């Protein structure tokens, strides 16, 4: 029995990249076609603008002024007490049209937020559901 100890010629293995690239392109196309693009819901706001040129005098309005220190003036009456009950009674007596009156809260820009919330709560307790806020036209307004 003869044993063949000759070396066989070794070839460098070739890696064919063309099928690999084809498979990757097919996967990429599949992912592009099956991806759903969802648009996130956004809140679209239209902010109010103030026009100080249209000042009007309405007999149904009750103006509540809130100072920097949180003190209240309802109509022309300055309130010594800052409790919700005193604001409620002042609003009830100052409302000329009863439940149809409009409460205008005019708070200083540096007034405490809690003071504004108390004024809104007092208006609700007094049965006044129409509340609006006074605004000052900014210098950058058109």
Q: What is the CATH number of the domain that holds 67?
A: 3.30.420.270
Lowest-pLDDT range, 20-24, 54-58, 121-125?
54-58
Average pLDDT, the chain: 80
Residue 117 has pLDDT above 70, yes or no: yes
Q: What is the mean pLDDT of residues 56-60?
A: 65
- Residue 18, domain member (yes or no): no
- Residue 75, domain member (yes or no): yes
Say if CB 123 and CB 95 are below 8 A apart: no
> Residue 12's pLDDT is what?
74
Phi, psi of 65 (to 5 degrees): -95, 135
CA gap 64, 125 in Å, rounded: 15
> Residue 101's pLDDT is what?
86
- Residue 105, domain member (yes or no): yes
- Residue 51, domain member (yes or no): no
- Residue 67, domain member (yes or no): yes
- Residue 68, domain member (yes or no): yes
* Confidence grade of residue 38 (pLDDT, cut at 50, 70, 90): low
Lowest-pLDDT range, 59-63, 69-73, 104-108, 117-121?
59-63
CA gap 49, 130 in Å, rounded: 18
Q: Which residues pair with 78 in a beta bridge?
A: 73
Residue 58 has pLDDT above 80, yes or no: no
Residue 57 has pLDDT above 70, yes or no: no
> Residue 121's pLDDT is what?
93
Count structural domains, the chain. 1
Which domain covers residue 98, as residue numbers?
A: 59-133
């Amino acid at each position: 029995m003869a044993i063949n100890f000759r070396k066989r010629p070794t070839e460098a293995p070739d890696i064919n990249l063309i099928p690999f690239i084809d498979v990757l392109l097919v996967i990429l196309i599949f992912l592009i076609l099956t991806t759903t693009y969802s648009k996130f819901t956004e809140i679209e706001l239209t902010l109010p603008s103030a026009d100080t040129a249209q000042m009007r005098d309405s007999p149904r309005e009750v103006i509540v002024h809130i100072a920097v220190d949180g003190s209240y003036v309802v109509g022309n009456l300055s309130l010594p007490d800052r409790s919700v009950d005193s604001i409620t009674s002042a609003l009830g007596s100052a409302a000329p049209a009863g439940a149809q009156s409009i409460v205008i809260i005019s708070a200083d820009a540096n007034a405490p937020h809690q003071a504004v919330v108390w004024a809104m709560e007092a208006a609700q307790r007094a049965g006044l559901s129409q509340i609006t806020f006074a605004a000052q036209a900014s210098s950058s307004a058109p």
